[in-house]
Amino acid sequence: MTSFEVALSGDFRNADGSMAYPDFDLQPLRDAPGLNLRWVDPVEGLIPAEGLEDVDALILLGARFTARSVPQSGRLALVARFGVGYDSVDVPACTAADIALVTTPDGVRRPVAVAVLTFVLALAGKLMVKDQLVRRGPPGWAERSAYMGVGVIGRTLGQLGIGNIGAEVFRIAAPLGMRFIAHDPFADPAVARELGVELVDLETLFRESDFLSISCPLNDQTHHIVNAERLALMKPTAFLVNTARGPVVDQNALYETLKAKRIAGAGLDVFEEEPTALGEPITTLDNVLLAPHALCWTDQCFAGIGAADVAAVLAVQQGNVPKGIVNREIVDAPGWRAKLQRYKG
């Protein structure tokens, strides 16, 4: 067949044409026989279909991919999302067009879990306020006894979601001596037992967690699953951490809860609207730690994500099923199998 054409969404490039994320190593694709790389620039944040007409695989960063992005040629076989979230991709549109959507759970598992623990330990140690005490000089130092931290031994670490990332949080938190609980309707009981995690109902999770971490995908069932009613169940000494997706949490309800000091604090890497507007109410509070959806961004994280996407592209080029497929039903779809066979042929 003709060459295997791979497009990268244009938001991988800076304005001067350089790579925005140099740790994303494209060399294995450049070295692959019969494979060509190109760029497709988003239009108003959306990947245009006309840019993909003779493309076999797309590696997608932050742009959206919807039914309007599907090329009429029917050639596109793979959308490889750079990361683990896929709320920017119309999954049914991909499936209907015989396009596999893959994400990179292996690349983000440890970095995001580390980000969760970063928030937990920073909140427990009151790191933000202690940083400010030092900056104020001797008067700040004089107030340090008023800001005692919270020890984690014997405290309850709760996870809303015990999949790829949630399970990894428990693995790396094991030496801290905490009690582990989780709620996940799709949890594997054997994995929970192996990690020493007690599976509980949603209300128990909110009532008993001293540190409650959100690690679930955003969908119709999880939108605003963290709402005013459930926040009201939490202990006044408890902390909420969200590194998943902003709309999983009702941000207005969380703001009112934090403002009234009904919980001790929160660590947020994600928000309902990104980027946050200047003066966004939750950014004015002193009991919340904030990061711009980037706390897990490290050289290792981006190298791992990139390597996973590259591996998926090369697998499809060779006519093989890649790892990390979201729309698993595509594996048995005749149209998609025919595309793989053509590559293999």
Per-residue pLDDT of the chain (345 residues; tens, 9 = 90+): 589 999 999 999 999 999 999 999 999 999 999 999 999 999 999 999 999 999 999 999 999 999 999 999 999 999 999 999 898 999 999 999 999 999 999 999 999 999 999 999 999 999 999 999 999 999 999 999 999 999 999 999 999 999 999 999 999 999 999 999 999 999 999 999 999 999 999 999 999 999 999 999 999 999 999 999 999 999 999 999 999 999 999 999 999 999 999 999 999 999 999 999 999 999 999 999 999 999 999 999 999 999 999 999 999 999 999 999 999 999 999 999 999 999 987
Q: Is the peptide bond before 189 cis (omega within 30 degrees of 0)?
A: no
Q: Which CATH superfamily is domain 108-290 in?
A: NAD(P)-binding Rossmann-like Domain (3.40.50.720)
SS3 label, residue 19:
strand
Output the CATH code of domain 4-103+298-344.
Answer: 3.40.50.720
- Nearest CA to 113 out of 174, 201, 53 is that of 174
Closest CA to 288 of 319, 334, 256: 256
252-118-202 Cα angle (round to 5): 50
Instruction: Give the model's pLDDT for residue 160.
Output: 98
- Residues recognised as catalytic: 245, 274, 293
Is the distance from CB of 58 to CB of 42 less than 8 angstroms? Answer: no
Residues whose CB is less than 8 angstroms from the CB of residue 201 and which lie 6 or more positions away in sequence, other chains included: 183
The confidence score (pLDDT) of residue 85 equals 87
pLDDT of 38: 96
Sheet holding 239-242, edge to edge: 197-199, 179-183, 156-160, 211-214, 239-242, 265-268, 288-290
Q: What is the pLDDT of residue 117?
A: 98
Q: What is the pTM of this model?
A: 0.89
Name every residue whose Cβ is closer than 8 Å to that of residue 55 and which is 6 or more positions away in sequence. Answer: 5, 6, 7, 38, 40, 71, 75, 76
CATH 3.40.50.720 domain span(s) along the chain: 4-103+298-344, 108-290
Least Cα distance to 118 among 304, 324, 301 occurs for 301
Q: Check if the beta carbon of residue 31 is closer than 8 Å to that of residue 63.
A: no
How many residues comprise the chain?
345
Give pLDDT, residue 1.
Answer: 56
